[in-house]
Amino acid sequence: MNTDNKENQIVIVTITKKGAQLGRRLRLLLPGSHLYLPEKFAGSLEAGEHAFSLPVKEAVREVFRQYRNLVLVMAVGVAVRLLATELRDKHKDPGVVVIDDAGTFAVSLLSGHLGGANRLAKRVASLLCAQPVVTTASDTSGTIAVDLLGKEFNWEIEDTDNITRVSAALVNGEPVGIYQDAGEMGWWPETKPLPDNVRIFTGIESLRQPDFSAALIITDRILEKEQLTLLPSLTITYRPKSLVVGVGCNRGTKSTEIEEAVTNILGTHGLSLGSIRNIATIDLKKDEAGLLEFARKYRLRIDYFNKKELSQAKFPSHPSAKVEGYVGTPSVCESAAILSSGNPSLVVPKERFKGAVTIAVARLAFDSQKSKGKLFLVGLGPGSPEQMTFKSKEALSQSDVVVGYNAYIELIEPFLHQKEVIATGMGAEVERAKTALNLARQGKTVSIVSSGDSGIYGMAGLVGEILREQPGDKLNVEVIPGVPSLVASAALLGTPITGDFASISLSDYLVSWEDIKRRLTLAAEGNFVIVLYNPRSKKRKHQLVEARELILRYRSPSTPVGIVTNAFREEQKVLITDLGHMLDHEIGMNTTIIIGNSTTFTVDGWMVTPRGYQTKYNLKQ
């Protein structure tokens, strides 16, 4: 079996027939995952599936040592007994999630923080519409998870010995101080206040509080002995990836020489090697063996810049005619550090080490690079949770704030736990869109929800219009597709829109009635199947009457018509009638009407629009 890249993969293990079915479903929902299932339930194996002989203990032992994420589809008690002899170290044990055969609960069982089981349990629960079960103290008490702080930004913890005792201090409500002078600032949700026992200080000397039990230090600096004496005995230091090291070197410089230069210069200036985000240099060094070896050893990416980019950068030192003669730019290490970091100033200007290597260091300006957040435009589908896409559920689970029309917010109540919800009434679409955009600009992850698909009579178009009026405002916006009402209604009716169709809203709130009539005329004249959205409301009654009269000029009264109200919702109503009797039935704003074309017919309760196979292949033969 291929065992490449197991660190980044998820393995699912099942032991029952029902569990195997759930496991196969989950494997498709978790790209790159593998599935282990008993031979007697395996049948024909697909890629990524592996059959094993019972008992399951050997299979669990194998995957426990190979993968970083395990999903066990079985009872929690069974999982505990299978894992008991395999446990070694919480820093090395994989994250384990247990799911019952029915897919009702996703339990974070092992390595909830470091192994990522808490995050995986929530992800799996979202995909299966299950309930995540997370019991780690920091999660249930709403305090800081010491071992996860900054993990999303790849911060490193320098002193792991104190993690357990500092975590206990936080959970037990003991005073804990925090000092930060480097790295990303958005490590705590803005919508959630810090725990009452946590206090942030602007100076490291302020941490010298007699009643403070512990401290969290977020810095790229090496603290001096005098500073260390000011700190509580229980202190954890986090190393954010905040430094960019610009490197210039002669051809053939060894990796050890580059390493010695970087280590020596950072140490001299009191900067931590663990806080290097990347190194930067000229593109002529793309094949420099020593530089590449150094980068691999410390798992650092290299940013390359061409001579034109480097020569145009504003660097503080005097230009080097000698360097310019060799590579075509008067500065390499300083310009590269400045360009890669986005910061025009340097922490360490160019220093030469033993004649062969030049080093300059810049610090990323996180205060000016604060995330602008993200905006999801989410299509919820026709109404029931089962008709929502997994991507829609994932977007909701990732969001800090969910914005939407009152009725749509009610439909997704089970997915809004611990979310800030902004719900408004009909006619407040512009207000909702602007509110969501402003929240995203503040660094929050926001979902604007629409029924059906966000891009079909939904909020996506409005957001696009607002963004057009704000050029240069580059936000991270993602449209999440949903099942539109016309598709949901068509599925309930049979197959009425197999061929070409036209979708027209009869609401003249935003479009003039003359324009709507023109579109109806063209669609009817062109023999399109016609889907009518927003056909009638308490205040709008004549539009549907006029629309029917117009279509009757081109269609027979016997043309099949499907009427669907509240598709896939509790008060769902589905019926098939004809154009002549269409107005005899109850129709409202939550109704979608599908009017067939000249070839549409009904059969056994189905409304069918042929696509042309009968003509081409003579299906009666």
What are the extents of the domains in the chain? 6-135, 151-239, 243-363, 374-483, 486-608
Can you give the pLDDT at residue 4?
45
Q: Which residue has the tokens 């970087």?
A: 262
Is it the case that residue 472 has pLDDT exceeding 70? no
The 10s digit of each residue's pLDDT in 65-100 is 889 899 999 999 999 999 988 888 766 788 899 999
Contacts of 95 (CB under 8 A, 6+ apart): 68, 69, 70, 108, 110, 111, 112, 114, 115, 116, 117, 118, 119, 120
CA–CA dist 314, 338 (Å, integer): 8
CA–CA dist 281, 598 (Å, integer): 69
| Strands, E assignment, 472-511 | 476-480, 494-495, 501-505
CATH classification number, 486-608, choose in 3.40.47.10, 3.30.420.10, 1.10.240.10, 3.30.950.10? 3.30.950.10
- Asked if the bond preceding 55 is cis, omega within 30° of 0, the reply is yes
Token couple for 612: 């042309």
For every residue of 276-314, DSSP letters joined together read EEEEEEEGGGTT-HHHHHHHHHTT-EEEEE-HHHHHHS-
Burial of 29 (0-12, 13-18, 19+ CB in 10 A): middle
CA–CA dist 484, 387 (Å, integer): 10
Superfamily designation of domain 374-483: Tetrapyrrole methylase, N-terminal domain (3.40.1010.10)
pLDDT band at 377 (very low <50, low <70, confident <90, very high): very high
Class (C level, CATH) for 243-363: alpha beta
Can you give the pLDDT at residue 368?
47
* Other residues' Cβ atoms within 10 Å of the Cβ of residue 318: 9
The 10s digit of each residue's pLDDT in 261-308 is 999 999 999 999 999 999 999 998 999 999 999 999 999 999 999 988
Backbone φ and ψ for 608, nearest 5 degrees, come out as -125, 130
For the chain, the average pLDDT equals 87
The 10s digit of each residue's pLDDT in 233-251 is 788 899 999 999 999 998 8
Strand, coil or helix: 78? helix
Architecture category of domain 6-135 in CATH:
3-Layer(aba) Sandwich (3.40)
The 10s digit of each residue's pLDDT in 480-525 is 999 999 999 999 999 999 999 999 999 998 999 999 999 999 999 9
Percent of all residues in the chain with a pLDDT value above 90, rounded to a whole number: 50
Query: Measuring CA to CA, which residue among 328, 337, 255 is closest to residue 296?
Result: 255
Contacts of 275 (CB under 8 A, 6+ apart): 156, 182, 220, 239, 240, 241, 242, 243
Query: Average pLDDT for residues 555-571, to the nearest whole number?
Result: 94
CA–CA dist 505, 519 (Å, integer): 10
Burial 563-602 (b: 16+ CB within 10 A, else e): bbbbbbbeebeeebbbbeebeeeebeebbbbbbbbebbeb
Q: Which residue has the tokens 């920091």?
A: 138
CA–CA dist 329, 344 (Å, integer): 18
CA–CA dist 169, 279 (Å, integer): 38
Per CATH, the number for 151-239 is 3.40.1390.40
Is it the case that residue 587 has pLDDT exceeding 90? yes
